[in-house]
């Protein structure tokens, strides 16, 4: 390429042509130098960019993991709150329908057990069976036993 430019420069005005050829040669050589430098530095730059990308990816994964953990925690809290609200509403409806709770049933069972024990105790103290418990003082003692058990 420089031979063609040299020939062209000789045909034209010598000095001006030579300047044009020298400038074109310098531009050409600068382009080749830039290309060569880009090839050398390009590999280093590429490797550097890969390392930076790996660092960024680790950071993003950490941040994403933290965000996911936080979202799971919030979702768990929301589910707990929703469950609590649901249980309250069901309890209110059951209360309006006069459905006894397990606690109510357990309390009634305890009272029945206590009354059964009181009746058996009364029958043993009087020496009479159930047939005689409804007469006289036995009747009064049965009421007193009932009142002790129910707290009245």
pLDDT in tens, 76-135: 888 888 899 988 888 888 888 888 888 889 999 999 999 999 998 888 888 765 554 445
Examine the pLDDT at 42 and tell me if it is beyond 90.
no
Under DSSP, is residue 98 helix (H, G, I), strand (E, B) or coil?
coil
Q: Is the pLDDT at 13 greater than 70, yes or no? A: no
| Per-residue three-class SS string for 7-30 | HHHHHCCHHHHHHHHHHHHHHHHH
Which of 55-59, 68-72, 87-91, 141-145 is the least confident region? 141-145
Which are the contacts of 137, defined by CB distance < 8 A and separation ≥ 6? none
* Coil, helix or strand at residue 107: helix
Check residues 18 and 102 and name the one with the higher pLDDT: 102
Q: Closest by alpha carbon to 25, among 1, 45, 7, 47? A: 1
HSE-CB at 24 with a 13 A cutoff on CA atoms is 14
Rounded to the nearest 5 degrees, what angle is found at the Cα of 36, between the Cα atoms of 32 and 37? 115
Instruction: Provide the pLDDT confidence category of residue 144 given band limits of 50, 70 and 90.
Output: confident
Q: What is the pLDDT of residue 111?
A: 92
pTM for this model (two decimals): 0.32
Contacts of 123 (CB under 8 A, 6+ apart): 129, 130, 133
CA angle 44, 47, 49 (to 5 degrees): 110
Domain ranges of the chain: 100-152
- Distance (Å, whole) CA 138 – CA 150: 18
């Amino acid at each position: 390429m420089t031979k063609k430019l040299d020939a062209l420069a000789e045909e034209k005005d010598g000095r001006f042509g030579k300047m044009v050829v020298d400038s074109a040669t310098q531009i050409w050589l600068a382009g080749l130098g830039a290309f060569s430098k880009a090839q050398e530095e390009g590999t280093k730059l590429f490797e550097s960019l890969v390392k930076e990308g790996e660092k960024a990816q680790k950071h993003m994964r950490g941040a994403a993991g933290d965000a996911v953990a936080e979202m799971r925690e919030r979702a768990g809290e929301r589910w707990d709150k929703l469950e609590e609200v649901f249980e309250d509403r069901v309890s209110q409806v059951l209360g309006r329908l006069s459905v006894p709770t397990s606690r109510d049933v357990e309390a009634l069972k305890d009272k029945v057990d206590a009354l059964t024990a009181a009746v058996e105790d009364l029958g043993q103290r009087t020496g009479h069976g159930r047939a005689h418990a409804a007469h006289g003082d036995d009747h009064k003692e049965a009421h007193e036993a009932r009142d002790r058990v129910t707290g009245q």
